[in-house]
Amino acid sequence: MKAKLGLVVSEFNNEITYKMLARAKQYIKRADASIRYVCYVPGSFDMPLMIGELLKKKDVDAVVTLGAVIKGETGHDEIIAGDVARLIADLSLRSGKPVSLGVTGPSMTIEQAMERIEIIPMRAVDAAIKMVFRMRKI
């Protein structure tokens, strides 16, 4: 039985995140998974609320997040990335369903984010799928 995935994509830095989404979709087509939902949020900070809603759905086995937190002139990126990662982990633990971290950053330049467009979505999708199948064995 295929892993049923929900995807949460940040619209902020969409020149990066939409390409990440395209790569994730390509990878999922070749993997043992299907996409049930693709949900867009304004920014990575907004992901936890949408993730929480997807995790309540019976037709979602795992959630994949896709975002890019770029370094600015302040330390704001570190706060956002840290909080998002912590909240994503908390949601996964509370729901008992995997949520993979496909949010790049902090302290990352736009160039560094562009370099990660290929690999991060594949890793995030792969982690979600592996966790779904490993948890089914328990």
Active-site residue list:
76
CA 28/CA 30 separation, integer angstroms = 5
- Residue 102 vs residues 46, 74, 120: alpha-carbon distances, Å: 14, 23, 6
Cβ-contact 103, 123 below 8 angstroms: no
Token pair of 133, please? Answer: 């199948």
